[in-house]
Chain A
């Protein structure tokens, strides 16, 4: 996993092979209509177009990210997940993807509800703040964790709404979303097996990818 997109936008562009991209690509059906919210420089959308022949669209906040998407031939709208999703029609997409962006939204719950209105399915990936390294960092250092993957200090981070896998699952239940699939990845970038309990995922999953249905 690497630096987050959204406000950081194109700064993450040179960082290739984000592990969650491969997982997301494996979850998307070929030829689907896809909206990537917080699409950065368009790396994931391009991957999905090449591998899965999707009809892809993007939303991105940063100007540099938008221009990079345009140069890749992607349809991208400069805008904000918090304020612009309301303009999309119901069920316009098969999948709406929110990769490493949820934690940077002002109102994650509302954004997630919008995703499920616009898309038949929502695919959400996020860094798990319940990972043991985060917990240890706070426990022993007594400071907000700053890691290689989450390199921001508390005062300048675009990531204003961190959550753990437990927290996220609880929110999906609150908005009545069905959990269709979930993948967690450990610090080595290996997929964790599905039959482990949530508590184990929450401790060892460094990031999680969820597929939700209305």
Chain B
């Protein structure tokens, strides 16, 4: 196969995954439209999900995992496109801190995503063509509303836990605010109750990179048989830097050169860090839809939980009975400890039951996806003591 053919095949695979995913799908017909914050609604629509473990007879042991910006529902199984292990397989699985021998774990691809839930690469029934930018803008609350419909589909009244980091953490907070009676415990990692100006700025850089690529074709690249590969890679490269930290980058790459003894006095990838970022950009394009990237980043930008409650974040959680666990990471500059603490303070002010831990690490925002023993023991202790309180049987 030529390089171009491989690219085309991967492009097809990605488009296929968006429409006919390697995941179970629940389809919601015209009788069950998804009401959207933008004032419109989405119908019909579908949700692709993965589940692990068994739902008990009382349906009391369900844990919903909410994925991050470029994550998906493949939490603890091999990824159908990349062939890599699930993105949280170190945390979720048999005998893991979120023990699938004890809990029924559910994760849905978010609305607006590209792994099987309705998103910009899905076919618009009105035109028979991909939605592209005709898909209404999706918010975090919209994603959560769709997940609630999926949870209804399983006949689950109350989730034992809703767990997520970053954009997933935003969904966790939204869940607890929108459906306080349906969330027994909430675990939100490396997140905030709103997206900061700096974070919006980085997202805008990424979106502009995508839209500046001529292959983007005003969003109609699937029909045009192109893909804004360059634009999306650059977006990913810029974003990836924000997921790490200065210390971690220097520890990992320093000023080391890539396969050469001296700099080339040119603009090749002389440094290892350049080579690494280029690789991150290229591999991302194979598994992620460019328009989805626009929708996901927008959803995070629009998130501001206090805004809907007269700028009083505590009011978003008034009277809540949910038990919260919030964790931040000391070197995270995307969602610094202060942003996480603001949530904790609001929960305190609302009289909520809240625990908070700041994990000391130099691995930046991405630490929530990595093997961080302190985070694991915190989550495990919190989840298992709450499970005792909820009367969920041990495996």
Are A and B physically bound partners? yes
Closest CB-CB distance, B161 to chain A, in whole Å?
14
Question: Which of B345, B354, B357, B384 meets A66, CB within 8 Å?
Answer: B357
A78 with B377, Cβ < 8 A, contacts A70-B382, A87-B348, A92-B351 known: no
Are A72 and B385 touching (Cβ within 8 A)?
yes
Q: A92 to chain B: which residues have CB within 8 Å?
A: 348, 351
Q: Are A67 and B358 in contact (CB under 8 A)?
A: no
Would A75 and B348 count as touching, CB distance under 8 A?
Answer: no
Partner of B349, one of A72, A76, A88: A88
In Å, the complex CA distance between A69 and B353 comes to 13
A63 on interface, CB distance cutoff 8 Å: yes
Residues of A within 8 A of B351 (CB): 89, 92
Given A63-B374, A70-B382, A70-B385, also A75-B353 (CB < 8 A): yes
Are B388 and A73 within 8 A (Cβ)?
A: yes
State the interface size on chain B (CB cutoff 8 A). 27
Of A70, A73, A87, A88, the residue contacting B357 (CB under 8 A) is: A70
A111 to B358, CA, bound (A): 22
Q: Which of A63, A72, A75, A89 contacts B354 (CB 8 A)?
A: A75
Q: Is B121 an interface residue (CB 8 A)?
A: no
The yes or no answer to A79 lying at the interface (CB within 8 A) is: yes
Name A's interface SS.
mixed
Cα-based distance from A68 to B388 in the complex (angstroms): 16
**Which residues of the partner chain B approach A63 to less than 8 Å between Cβ atoms?**
357-360, 374
Are the CB atoms of A71 and B385 closer together than 8 Å?
yes
* Nearest CB of A to B238, in Å: 32
Give the interface centre of A70, A87, A89 by most chain B CB atoms within 10 Å: A70
Contacts of B333-391 to chain A: CB distance below 8 A: 341, 344-345, 348-349, 351, 353-360, 374, 377-378, 380-382, 384-386, 388-389
Asked if A57 is an interface residue, CB under 8 A from chain B, the answer is: yes
Given contact pairs A70-B325, A71-B385, enumerate 18 new A-B contacts (beta carbons under 8 Å).
A63-B357, A63-B359, A63-B360, A66-B356, A67-B374, A67-B377, A69-B355, A70-B355, A70-B357, A70-B381, A71-B377, A71-B384, A73-B389, A77-B355, A79-B356, A87-B348, A87-B349, A89-B348
List the 9 closest pairs (A to B, CB-CB), nearest first.
A73-B385, A71-B381, A70-B381, A87-B345, A77-B356, A75-B353, A70-B382, A78-B357, A66-B357
